[in-house]
Chain A
């Protein structure tokens, strides 16, 4: 449904009829049809309609909704067009003199339940009163607010608005207490309840993590998602923006943001797929594919979809790290000191992956990098960043087997932690006996 943005700021509305059609419907029948058409709306919303006698003029009198039948130009700037074409119109609620006024084209042959050669006054009136109450045209089917003439209904005494129309009017005025929709199980209407009960309040729980937690490093997973870097640890994550600032010093609950992940677990690895920007989470022997922040249906799926076998032929049951190397656009998954390469530009929709041939290989091929990393991301000019404990190493774009890479502090450079007065130095991967004064 669509709302005009205007509504009556009262629920007791008056209506009047200022002229009658020249076609064969009697005045009494017009009165009845108009009253029933208004009742369709007041049955489902707390609006009360009271008829006011017309003084016969187009002046101030006559109440809120003034009904008239007119031909061609009729002094409102919206002339009718003869038989067919446009049938009627109404003005949205408001303070203008014309607000709520409802005009029917008197060139139409108005009828009640007539055949295809006539126009049913009741259904057109229900539609127009929808406008007079603040509704715009709806593209939903079924809806009385569709712009096109829909023909007569079987019995106006049994007429009930469709769900789309009820939702629209109740959005503006609320639901009537005794409205059928408020009594689930009554009647045969299979529509869902109008406004589902809101879930119990979930006040924001601030994690009991200390300031040091963020600054201690040892993240379960690190991922570059849409240019922002996410640091996952336990049930929480921190997020740095493109400019390097933290969204918040406080961590966020993973399951409050990434909808569909299980609680009580920790994330092993995450990456954003290049071909379609889906986000892949690895937890234990399962993986999830996310569209934005919501898990897609059909997930989790077993890690065995990826067909990663160790050099001794066993299926891999967890992933340590995952990233897309900007150098070649390929996806790399790491587990237990070995890694596999995937070309995801193929097999877009399929869930079964095949690693490239000649994989796995051992992690020490990435010279100068930690062989058992926490996670890896591509960042900056396409450089690969390896994270381990509270340090990170940068492998320049396309480089592999760099002789020596100086580790830097993750907490200082990424998580806005103060530099400690003194610090121990990490082992240099591949050459643990050599010491480095990193800071």
Chain B
């Protein structure tokens, strides 16, 4: 399986962040996304979009990512809420 080209990869990460599937990048900590984190985000995006859940940037996923859409995020404050909930538990 060929790995996606770096530009495509970075565009996809940007797309996933913009629509709420990945936490927004934090320039202070230069936070890197883990491979598993991105894969999971792709799965959620695929599930939300009603296409096969592969966790991979396959043809269908790239097609969906390039479909014109509304600019509001699909997952609103998911990561923030999860973080807040964890903090409250602690």
Contacts and interface: CB of A to CB of B under 8 A. Distances in A.
B69 A87 contact: yes
Contact of B69 (A139, A141, A149): A149
Interface in B57-83: 64, 66-74, 76
A128 interface: yes
B72 A131 contact: yes
Nearest to A86: B71
Interface string A76-101: 00101000111111100000000000
A128 B71 CA distance: 10
Interface in A202-228: none
A136 B73 CA distance: 9
Contact of A86 (B50, B64, B69, B76): B69
Interface residues of A, number: 23
A119 interface: yes
Nearest to A131: B72
Nearest to A83: B68
A78 B73 CA distance: 12
A89 to B, nearest CB: 4
A80 B72 CA distance: 12
Interface residues of B, number: 16
Given A4-B76, A136-B76, A147-B19, A89 B50 contact: no
Given A4-B76, A147-B19, A148-B49, A137 B68 contact: no
B67 to A, nearest CB: 5
Contacts of A89: 70-72
Given A139-B47, A139-B50, A141-B50, A147 B69 contact: yes
A362 to B, nearest CB: 53
B71 A148 contact: no
Contacts of B19: 147
Given A139-B48, A139-B50, A148 B67 contact: yes
Nearest to B72: A89
A88 B76 contact: no
A358 to B, nearest CB: 48
Contacts of A136: 72, 74, 76
B68 A84 contact: yes
A148 B69 contact: yes
Given A4-B76, A136-B76, A148-B64, A88 B50 contact: no
Interface in A122-163: 124, 127-128, 131, 136-137, 139, 141, 147-149
Interface string A27-71: 000000000000000000000000000000000000000000000
Nearest to B19: A147
Contact of B68 (A4, A78, A86, A141): A86
B31 to A, nearest CB: 22
Contacts of A128: 70
Q: Which 9 A-B pairs have the closest CB atoms?
A: A86-B71, A89-B71, A149-B68, A139-B48, A137-B74, A148-B67, A148-B69, A147-B69, A147-B70
21 contacts: A85-B68, A85-B69, A87-B70, A88-B71, A89-B70, A90-B72, A119-B68, A124-B70, A127-B70, A131-B72, A136-B72, A136-B74, A137-B48, A137-B73, A139-B48, A139-B74, A141-B50, A148-B49, A148-B64, A148-B69, A149-B68
Interface of B: 19, 47-50, 64, 66-74, 76
Given A80-B71, A128-B70, 11 more contacts: A85-B69, A86-B69, A87-B68, A87-B70, A89-B70, A124-B70, A137-B70, A139-B48, A139-B49, A147-B19, A148-B69
